[in-house]
Structure 1
Amino acid sequence: MTLDQLDDDIVALARKYNRTSPVEVYRRAKELLSITQSLLERTQVPRQRERGYLAAGQSAAILSAICFDLGSLPAAVSLSRTAALYGQVIEHGPLQAYAHGALAFLAFWSGRPVESVRLVRTAQQFGGLGDTAMTRLLVIEGRAHGHMGNQVEAESAVQKALDQNTGSRDALHDDVGGEFGFPSDRVAMSNATTYLLLGEADGAEEAAERALQLLGTKAEDQRPLLVSTQAHVDLARARLLRGELDGVQAALEPAFDVPTEWRGAGTLERMAAVRAGLLRPQFRGAAEATVLGERIEEFTAAASAQRLGGAPPLAIEG
């Protein structure tokens, strides 16, 4: 009965991840991981231990994701490795693939895109993966190639992600879903960032607008704030590449209204890229650029108290 309740609690947390305060997700995921680890110490029944390892791996994966959003990259890496280890113990392909995908994502955030591609390739070899799992890995691979400036490989991965449609599913990415899922709006948002890394304003704008269009079809209480905010900022970045200051401001307005606790690492890094772009010589002396820059600095300063350790944004996406 305890394992049944744990399963229910983990599924509920994963599915409510994008609409629950990050601080609350952190608290709850840490609690669930502690409970599952405690249960594993108290049973030697093989079936119970298998379920316990899966629950521990899922809890560690969720905790890793929220640690990243709250700005603690080392903790996120450690917890994703823990999730991968639990998945290895019970030979659970989807959990291992998810954890390796997270490590690949964290690798290019640490300035190691070559390692990121290697981890994606490893993740793609695990058994039992559905379309959602493969799409997520291809999107991450595209971002990694984008960081290396490899346009051909990046665009190939983006297209493969969009074309992935074999009809296969898996229990983690599809049945549990939520933070383990990777819906079309998240695919589009992440692909926008890949195009930005390649310096392709048109592709980035199209993908960001696609993400916002897809998000707009969802009920307001079902829209993931982290994804929608990042899409708005990437839309602004695409317009900034073309020097359209009015368009940049219009795209950023919804992001400026996001409560401080929802200003995660991905959002702050994207905002830092906009701030850096506004300092380019072509905008020197432009009042709009000065005002926007000041608002971004205020936006970032207000978010810092919500981050683990109060760390500044990571300088990777620029």
Structure 2
Amino acid sequence: MRNTGGERVDEAVASAVALLRTATDRDWEQVRARGLEWSCRMTAVHIAECLVGYAGQLTGRAADGYVPFEISLEEGTGNEGALRVIEAMGGLLSATVRTTPRDVRAFHSYPFRSANREGFAAMGIAEVLLHTHDIAHGLGLDYEPPAETVSYVLTRIFPDVRPGPAPWPTLLWATGRGELPGRAPVTEWRWHNNLVIGGDRLTLEGITPASAADLAVGGDGGFTWAGDGPFEGTREGAGIMVKQYEEGLLRPEWGMFALVRREDDRAVGAMGFHGPPDEDGRVEIGYDLVEAARGHGFATEALRALSAWALAREDVTSVFARTEPGNTASQRVLARAGFTRVAADGEEPAYELRG
């Protein structure tokens, strides 16, 4: 799956600026953007601040906070000048997303305190699209950005939002700016960057709906894979995750994780939950590795890390796993990770790790 974040940033900025240029002769200072305390002028400056701020997080490799800077327009800058600043800041984010290595993450407060280049691209695009909508409404303009650009945002930082009949109305509804038939109004919202869990030799990277969709149809999901690529179970799991997303049942932190080897940034397998904890606090887990990565303890390391993350939550009391009767290698992995064999629901051996 090719890194298209820079292209999507360019598309978002171009669509926004093209519309707003039709109204540069208006007084943006005296008109308030829809739903905000800011004027249209201040909202335009905010868009530029977000674009360069997200670029700064990535280029500065910010680890535990926001890079401390802000921008301001020169005195006497008109509306056209403000749009030129948006274009310039958009270009900085676009170039940064194109050149930042895939494994780099930088600080962002919500929800898991970091984001990768796709996350920052999606957040920057969201700021452009949504606040251009706010400005346009204040100025009495109609705005609808490219559908693929909106989908980029939804499938990367809104994984818990069930797709609607069209991307743009869905994003507006998900951010409290519109209505969708059959859905209650949204009064509070947050986007969701993917969860990342660190191990000794591996990083467990939460897979987004965009990556899952690519994996399910034979793609790489945006990862460089060891050996011959994803094993069959990874692609099947990705397909299940896509179905959960399409049905609005996906809980991002209870989804699927790519197991990425730190030494060479290659994915060696996948591990994930079958869904959120049940009413008894039990969560079921599954995994597989590419053949070239087996026998090195990667599955055991990942299983320990993901199980520890789950059991640290108040809503989880145990982690459960099943294996095929003849899969002794998987059974040894579970035993090394601290699981004990329990009575099976069917013919498959079952194992459990309790908090």
TM-score by length of 1: 0.34
The answer to which structure has the higher helix fraction is 1
Structure of greater relative contact order (alpha carbons < 8 Å, 6+ residues apart):
1
The answer to which structure has the higher strand fraction is 2
Q: Which has the larger radius of gyration?
A: 2
TM-score by length of 2: 0.32
